[in-house]
Amino acid sequence: MTAPVPANEEARLRRLRSLRVLDTLPEQAYDDIVEAASALMDVPIAAITFVDEDRQWFKAKVGTEVCETSRDIAACAHTILQVEPLVVPNATLDPRFRENPLVTSEFGLRFYAGAPIVVDGEAVGSLCCIDRVPREVSDRQVRALAALARQVNTLLVARLERARLEQTEQRFEAFFDNAPAALFLKDKEGRMQYVNHQLESIFGRSCEELLGLTDWDWLPEESAAGFEADDRRVRETGETLVVEERIPLEDGGHRIWRTLKFPVQMGSETWLGGFAFDITQLRDSEAKIQEQAEEIAQRNVELAKTLAMVESAGNAAQQAAHRFEQLFAGLPVACYTYDSEGRILELNAAAESLWGVPAFEAMMEPISSVIYPNGDEAEIQSEIERVFSGETIRGQERLVQMRNGTERWLLCSTIPLRNFAGDVVGAISANLDITERKATEDLLQEKEERFRTVLDSLQEGVMLYDVNDGVVLWNASATRLLGLEGDALRGQRPWDWKMVRPDGTEYAAERSPLLRALVTGKAQSPTRVGIRKSEEEFRWMNTSIAPLLTNKGKRPNAVVISFLDETERVEQEHKIGAQMEQIQRYSVELEMQKHELQRANSQLESLATTDGLTGLKNHRFFQEFLRRKVGQSQVVGMPLSLVLLDVDHFKTYNDEFGHQAGDAVLRTVAQVLTHGARGQDLVARYGGEEFVIVMPGTTSEAATATAERIRQALESQEFSCRGITASFGVASYGPLLNEAEALVRAADEALYLSKEMGRNRVTVWNSPSLVA
């Protein structure tokens, strides 16, 4: 009877597919369980099966070469309908199975026991045991089988968790490789241990070239010394530092970086990590503004001196004024001058272009209406007063609304103009449009904040460890998983936490995965590490370590550590291990008992089925063997012949020479028969002086030929007292002789005819009338 479809079939199939186990390669863990189940139930066949829409697929098996069967005939399709194990002592007596092809065919299924494999409440398959003979099992065996099925569930869940962890690690690596900032990690010696591709592309050096290099290895001494001083400050204070660093390039140019440096605790060492953003263009623009402003100031001083000489040298003054006007007008920076009332005196071409107003229109207009039309009047007046009091105002950033309604960011510097007496007689303001630079800075700030948000959203703990400064960067998950708060991680070094291996031995600092990553410059595959959070609490972490490499490929000086708490999983594995050890002990005990029982059964069977005089199988064994072979012939149509023989005049021989001589004759006849028969034939003592040969796979003609050879061998055999002959009867399986009893009767009648016809001959049965 085909098993009905479970009510939760759709959800069950979804759960089965989510496990990603169907059609996978064999795995030792599953093979071990079916071996244990086979030994537990003392059956030849055991398997772990999963049932999908159409089939029953075998993940692991013992005792069969079948890999899958149709679901219609699968016994395990019945097992998944219940939560308790299904035990069928004799399938021929169970209405659910007695007509199943596995029961009615040559396979001959008789005994079945299956425990459902349940994952998240859904029975996806079973752990089953099969035998071809009926049997009974104890409640203890059934409970042990269910326990093994639960171990399969544990293996499936662990398999799924491993797949999820690998996916998370891939995402983490992709995130750092595609981060918008240049990332690096230095060890305590200042050697680059990790760099991402952003840094590689900027300096034209591969990550492998930079790894293991210190700043002294590839930068001028002055630059390397400055970087080292900043790095030392971060390590010593344990605080994050934002610095600007000037880095010369191999082509003679340079780059200016705004770098966020932070300590990274790597065990007992403090390393240094960093996120760097290229601000070269920004700083070049500012320097240009400053240079131009100073140039203007210098020229204004010269102008003031020249103006002071106007009183005594009119032509010289006019010439100086003309030179100033040319200089002022030609400056590429937007400049204007104004008096103590805040009225505009001059406006150069760059200023006309920036504000969109001709110089003649702006002349003598207040700066509040032309330059800052929406500015704060009080703030403008305060600045005028500050400048005319002699103060120089540099590098002010202002958001200014232009006359066309747009807004622009300006970097402004205002310098007082003095006469020969040193009195302030005017002011000049230089303004650089930094709107694009501000947009770039805002974008960089946004990316920094986004990076931090993404880092803190990860479920994995992430730390950046520097060999010199220890842990310098971490996310929220890191503090949560380690049971720490606030800045408690800063400066810590992982080997201060007394890390242990899965076998319980403590890691020496020089043997830890972290140090291997620093020494080899290679990422360390996920490693299980035990960490003691407190005297009372011990946690297991699945840890991955990736070095921050330099472009020149030398040893890294920092690593990124990511980890997940899998303490519960480890505890479960320990429980599983203990249970498996107990099951193994039970299996050994059962195996020993099995061997002992087999030895005893073998002895009993030998005593029960062997003739004591001749050493041949006895009449009882012959009858059972003949019935089995007739049954096989009934199923597959295999030829089968039976030879029955009787020693001629044996009673006379026995009376004349004695029983001992008669026994010697019987033993010699047994030897001759055994020598003349094939290996697959059965030679047995039928009773008294009668013997029988069962010849599977043998036609009547072949059996007759064999009987004749044996007859001749007996006739020519030398005996101690006198010669001996025998009479033979041969019968073969056929339409009329399709039962064991009919074969024996036919062979006996043929034997009788041999004796009637003078003995010492072979007679083949061929008379249907002789079989009643």
Residue numbers of the chain with a pLDDT score lower than 50: 310, 312-314, 316-317, 320-321, 769-772
Residue 5 CA to residue 491 CA, distance in Å, equals 61
Please indicate whether residue 689 is annotated as part of the active site. yes
Spatial neighbors of 548 by CB under 8 A, at least 6 apart, are 183, 184, 185, 186, 192, 193, 194, 195, 196, 273, 464, 556, 557, 558, 559, 560
In angstroms, the Cα distances linking 1 to 4, 56, 102, 108, 129 are 9, 16, 12, 16, 20
Q: How many CB atoms lie within 10 A of CB 634?
A: 13
Query: Three-class SS of residue 497?
Result: helix
Tokens of 368: 């509040």
Sign of CA dihedral 194, 196, 201, 203: negative
Nearest to 558 by CA among 200, 231, 169, 244: 231
Cβ pair 730, 747 in contact under 8 A: yes
Nearest to 44 by CA among 95, 92, 107: 107
pLDDT score for 316: 42
pLDDT score for 67: 92
Tens-digit pLDDT profile for residues 368-394: 888 888 778 888 899 999 999 999 998
pLDDT score for 433: 86
Q: Which of 689, 690, 739, 741 is catalytic?
A: 689
Nearest to 155 by CA among 582, 504, 583, 569: 569
Nearest to 352 by CA among 369, 327, 334: 334
Which domains are seen in the chain, by residue range? 9-166 (3.30.450.40), 180-565 (3.30.450.20), 610-770 (3.30.70.270)
pLDDT score for 685: 96
Query: Three-class SS of residue 285?
Result: helix
Q: Is the pTM of this model over 0.75?
A: no
CB environment 79-107: b (16+ within 10 A), e (fewer): bbeeeebbbbebbeebeebeebebbeeee
Tens-digit pLDDT profile for residues 599-614: 766 666 666 789 999 9
Spatial neighbors of 602 by CB under 8 A, at least 6 apart, are none
Residue 516 CA to residue 530 CA, distance in Å, equals 17
pLDDT score for 510: 62
Write out the E strands in 437-572: 461-466, 470-474, 524-532, 538-547, 551-552, 558-565
Q: Looking up tokens 């680059």, which residue turns up?
A: 192
pLDDT score for 592: 80
